[in-house]
Structure 1
Amino acid sequence: MNSLTKLLKNHTLKFTFVSALALSSCDQGFEEMNTNPYAFTEPVISSLFSNSLIKTAGDGDNNTLYANSKLSGCFVQYFSSLNPWQWTGDKYLYKQEYNKGLFETAYSSELKETAQIIDLVKDKPELSNYLAVARIWRVYILHRVTDMYGDIPYTQAGQGYIGAMYKPGYDSQSDIYPMMLKELEETALALDAAKTTFGNADFIYKGDVTKWKRFAYSLMLRLGMRLTKVDPALAETWVKKAIAGGVMQSNADIAKLDHTGGSANNWNVDAYLLQGGEGVPPSAQGKGYSKLSKTFIDYLKATKDPRLPFYATLWQGNADASKLPQTTAPEVQKGLPSGYDYTTIKTLIPNWTDNMQAEYSEINIHTIASLSTPTMFQSYAEVSLLLAEAALRGWSTDDVKTRYENAVRASMESETLYPGGMSISPATITAYLTANPFTGGSFEKQMEQIHNQFWVSMFMTNVEAYANWRRTGYPKLTPTNYTGNETGGTIPRRLRYPESEASLNTDAYNAAVQKQGPDLFTTRVWWDK
């Protein structure tokens, strides 16, 4: 567990204990004092919210390295590995520890404080902003879970912390999505700049009600667009509501949690784990388990994408940042083919030796995988690309090409928000857009251009990239077919429920499987038709 999480937990427990002692002292004759019996709730609630944000950004391997990189990042071919025991995703193998991580962490860790906040403030009108923001955050936490697993506990989620509901029922995803969208609409309308906020305890927006409102509508845009295959009319309704409500306007509105690399309390957990023994430790001298995929590197090189040095380096640059100008040069980047192990790679490259791993590109740990890189929950680049699709569908009067180009600029300009000192000049961005123009064409041709760019721009927001790939089919990926894989050589469409659900929440689990279909990687979630 992140040591900052522990610190906040200890702070909250100690503060509550001290406050309880103070209240009990009323028996000593001080009950007539004019004190507010709820004075302790505001700092405690603020600490709870801070803790929830931190744990959602990273509470160990389960909701970072496993879900984001080893599974989602491999499914969409950002990453590949020759190690079938530590990196299973590019081979579509099942490993319970990886598979259950996001589900169990969301319910046991991420959701805990949010559920408590909602229960504490639901009947306190003066704290209506607390309630609204906590509800938005609850949607953020649970939409990732339903997108990865399908039917999940939603209406009863988190009730074990406040109502002894230890075996929650599973809601159908077809019911969950309308509930989430309604919650975002209600909370966006409820936010009130005249009322108290979480202030500095809000590590995302520092209590800025306008930015939270834009985030709520931007999430609405994301979720509304998710419905385009299963219910286009409902998707159109909610996308139009999101646009009318007011989504993100620039990179200043990005929903992110900043980190600093000075101590373990403030590290980006995902980056920390990628730099560790199962990722790209410099001590491995290029023979670590994680490499960038040939699919991803080849695309970036073919389009002469200026983000390539920000994303990729050879191992020598990870070991010594002074070498980055040479080790991030596009011409030396080489992606590892997905779906192979230390033996089968020799069928593709007959002269293969293990030392050759050092020639393949790794994620850059001084920039996008630095300990002080921000956790991105939703970016303006994503919003702009979804707005481009909305315009393409005729759901707004925007110009598709303009929205697309705004997204490219936003993605490239966001490099300045990361450590490492890299930036892309306006002239370079313009040159990229000139060399890779948005050409229009058929509906599908434009969708492909928009969502290929989505894939490139969303690197390391991999859970969302995976969801968007399932919805759109872009980029067009060639599946792998590793011996013994779980899918028959097709990219997984969901994760399996934790095995503990079948034994500890049996009735709810069985009902979900009966409604949704077999608990397999190949069973599609409701919106993935």
Structure 2
Amino acid sequence: MKKYFITFISIALIAVSCEVNEEYNRDSKYPTIVPGSGLFTNAARNLFDLMNSASVNDNVFRLYAQYWAQTTYPDESQYNQITRNIGGSIWNTLYRDVLQDLKGARANLIEEEADNLNNKLAIIEFMEVYAYSVLVDTFGDVPYSEALDFENSTPAYDDAGTIYASLIEKLNGAITSMGSGSGFEATQDPIYGGDMTKWRKAANSLRLRMALRLADVNASLAQSTAEAAAAATLITENADNFGIQYLGAAPNTNPVWVSLVQSGRNDFVAADTFIDVLNGLEDPRRQFYFETLDGEYVGGIYGSANSPASASAISDLLKAPDLIGNILTASEVHFLLSEAAARGYAVGGTQEEFYAGGIETSILEWGGTQEEIDAYLAQPSVAYATAEGDWKQKIATQKWIAMFNNGMEGWTTWRLFDQPTLNVPDGFTAEDIPTRFLYPISEATLNGEELDAAISAIGGDSQTTKLFWDVN
């Protein structure tokens, strides 16, 4: 009897011991499931770091816009995209580090039944649209409808124009979904701290930018989209700029500081292309963009190996580790509205008014004064009525100046308007200036058949192949 009783107790203990509390098996320091908010924050940081970077490995847009010239190694100013596989770095960052994290953030937030879920999903949708728009504006046709699928290693490339139309539709949906209340927590949102009013302005402003990209190729969609954006709330003041506030200590510093200060290198100076225009207009932003050399603003020869001591250095303001990294500003929005008005769109003002607003908000963004603004706008060479050229040249020139620290938009301004006139490096012709980036080398190996179809569709994988919206 005693024997049976001991056996019964043993069985009971075994049964009880099988009831495992899984909480004890979860590593709180190294979780197996990353919170959706964490993935969103990481994706946002990666997107802003890429667009603000000054590294020749992944962001040469300031060079292509001819704001900066190089010193010892001028390869990128001579349009060498292959040695450093720059296109591959842009591609990998956007697909792997931005879009894939945003996809994971969406799935995890839904599974978590997160608070303010609709607002968070709308923000994610907007960020995805932004990332895909950069991919299209950089390469042309890219994987889209079949992208980010682990079970499909050879996604088809979608037509760039079709992608743009789809992105605008998605962006419209995201804007509609943005409700009152909060989005992500302030600690999770390094851009707007959860302020949905500002997120809505940013989304509408991206809608306006994308609309004007289409103005010469899909006039009806461009106009309807631009007018809808203008009828809503936009980024019209610098306090609402779409930017990430970097911090004063690594690893959360502005990537420009990493390239210009932490690296200990001196690879860039002001480009003569840019300086010549600024000097000709006595532009008050020179003091914020560059340092003087013997009391003058001097540009290095674009496309050449300049001595660092021969031209104006990049300003100390640009080298601040905590400089805000803006990628969509009030100044850009004003110039977009000026362009829309010049095209005859109903956007609530005239091209002259918005043109002046673009200049004003740009000068204020960098720390200029109202007195400087008034004096600058009073110059015949700056005032809209008397500035040189047609409306395209007037707007493009001032927008290019204002986009100084957003090289992608500076380069794109030239691609859209063929203004201003860029300098040609020795040994090159104007036709050699890039209008897109080469597809990554890895795509030829991993997705060769689909890549070949895309190359045929866009007219060749050349740096000078024009994108679908670049028809001037």
Conserved? CA contact 2:192–2:198, under 8 Å: yes
Instruction: Verify: 1:409 aligned to 2:387, yes or no.
Output: no
Q: Deviations over 1:142-194 (max 9, x none)?
A: 2111101111112233333xxx3333221110111001111111000001114
Alignment partner, residue 273 of structure 1: 259
> Which whole-Å deviations, capped at 9, do the CAs of 1:211-269 have from their partners, x for residues lacking one?
111111100000110112222222112111211232113112111000122x2122111
1:116 aligned residue: 104
* Aligned position for 2:440: 498
Tell me how far apart the structure 2 counterparts of residues 101 and 87 of structure 1 sit (CA, whole Å). Answer: 19
Aligned amino acid, residue 405 of structure 2: M
CA distance 1:26–1:470, change in 2 (3 Å): farther
* RMSD across aligned positions (CA): 2.8
TM (normalized to structure 2)?
Answer: 0.86
Distance 2:225 2:145 in 1: 21
Shift in Å, 1:82: 4.4
Choose the corresponding residue for 1:379, options 329, 341, 344.
329
CA positional deviation for 1:400: 1.7
Contact 1:292 1:362 in 2 (8 A): yes
CA distance in 2, matches of 1:26, 1:399: 75
Match of 1:105 among 90, 93, 103: 93
CA deviations on 1:450-495 (whole Å, 9 max, x unpaired) are 111111111121012112211111212233343xx6x785211101
Identity %: 27
Q: CA deviation at 1:196?
A: 5.2
Matched, 1:190 2:180: no
Residue 72 (structure 1) aligned with residue 68 (structure 2): no
Structure 1 residue 305: deviation in Å? Answer: 0.8
Alpha-carbon distance in structure 2 between the residues aligned to 1:27 and 1:159: 38
Partner of 1:426: 370
Q: Distance in 1 between matches of 2:57 and 2:176?
A: 33
Change (3 A) 1:236 1:360: same
Q: How does 1:226-245 map to 2 (within 5 A)?
A: 226-245=213-232
Query: How many angstroms does 1:310 deviate by?
Result: 0.6
**Residues 305-344 of structure 1 aligned to structure 2 (within 5 Å):** 305-314=283-292, 331-341=295-305
Q: Distance in 2 between matches of 1:73 and 1:289?
A: 13
What is the CA distance between 1:335 and its match in structure 2? 0.2
Quick one: which of 131, 142, 156 aligns to 1:152?
Answer: 142
For the 8 Å contact 1:99–1:498, the answer to whether it is kept is: yes
1:340 deviation in Å?
2.6
- Structure 1's 64 and 116: CA in aligned 2 closer, same or farther, altered over 3 A? farther
The answer as to 2:35 corresponding to 1:57 is no
Whole-angstrom distance in 2 between the partners of 1:172 and 1:489: 25
Q: Distance in 1 between matches of 2:301 and 2:391?
A: 28
**Counterpart code for 1:147:** D
CA distance in 2, matches of 1:412, 1:524: 32
CA distance in 1, matches of 2:168, 2:385: 31
d(CA) in 2 for partners of 1:137, 1:60:
13
Q: Conserved in 2, the CA contact under 8 Å of 1:481 and 1:488? A: no
In structure 1, the partner of 2:272 is 294
Structure 1 residue identity aligned to 2:311: Y
**Alpha carbons of structure 1 residues 68 and 298: separation in structure 2 relative to 1, 3 Å:** farther
1:492 alignment partner, SS class: coil
Alignment CA distance shift 1:274-1:27 (3 Å) = farther
Deviations 1:6-28 (A, max 9, x none): xxxxxxxxxxxxxxxxxxx9954
Aligned to 2:82: 95
Stretches of structure 1 lacking an aligned partner (at least 5 in a row): 1-24, 32-39, 315-326, 343-353, 416-422
Matched with 2:191 is 204
Corresponding residue of 2:394? 449
- Provide the rounded CA distance (Å) in 2 between the counterparts of 1:195 and 1:77: 40
For 2:354, give the aligned amino acid. Answer: R
Q: Is the 8 A contact 1:392 1:443 kept in 2?
A: no
* Residues 229 and 471, structure 1, Cα contact 8 Å, conserved in 2: no
Tell me which residue corresponds to 2:342.
392
Structure with higher helix content: 1
Question: Within 1, Cα distance between the matches of 2:396 and 2:455?
Answer: 31
5 Å-filtered alignment, 1:213-224, equals 213-224=200-211
Contact 1:58/1:270, CA 8 A, preserved across alignment? no
User: 1:179: which partner in 2?
Assistant: 166
Structure of larger gyration radius: 2
Residues 29 and 271 (structure 1 numbering): CA distance in 2 closer, same or farther, change over 3 Å? closer
Gap runs ≥5 in structure 2? 1-16, 24-30
Instruction: State the one-letter code of the partner of 1:206.
Output: G
**1:200 match: secondary structure:** coil
* Matched AA of 1:109: D
Cα deviation digits, residues 301-331 of structure 1 (max 9, x gap): 11111110110015xxxxxxxxxxxx5x8x4
Select the residue among 491, 507, 512 that pairs with 2:454: 512
Looking at structure 2, the residues matched to 118 and 29 of structure 1 have their Cα atoms a distance apart, in angstroms, of 29
Q: Distance in 2 between matches of 1:441 and 1:429?
A: 17
Kept after mapping to 1: 8 A contact 2:332/2:358: yes
Amino acid across the alignment from 1:78: Y
Distance change in 2, residues 1:147/1:43 (3 Å): same
Is 2:463 the counterpart of 1:472?
Answer: no
Counterpart in the other structure of 2:4: none
Map of 1:460 onto structure 2:
405
TM-score by length of 1: 0.77
Q: Tell me the distance in 2 between the aligned counterparts of 1:368 and 1:505.
A: 40
Task: Return the alpha-carbon distance in structure 1 between the equivalents of residues 22 and 39 of structure 2.
Answer: 29
Mapped to 2, the partners of 1:298 and 1:30 lie a distance apart of: 68
Q: Which residue identity is paired with 1:307?
A: R
Structure 1 residues 19-58: aligned runs within 5 Å: 27-28=19-20, 44-58=35-49
CA contact (8 A) 1:339 1:480 kept: yes
User: Structure 2: which amino acid aligns with 1:332?
Assistant: E
Residues 225 and 413 of structure 1: CA distance in aligned 2, closer, same or farther (over 3 Å): same
Measure, in 1, the Cα distance between the counterparts of 2:388 and 2:143.
Answer: 37
Structure 2 Cα separation of the partners of residues 68 and 401 of structure 1: 36
Paired residues of 1:96 and 1:499 also in contact (CA < 8 A): no
Q: Does the Cα contact within 8 Å between 1:135 and 1:187 map onto a contact in 2? A: yes
**Which whole-Å CA distance do the structure 2 matches of 1:338 and 1:405 have between them?**
29
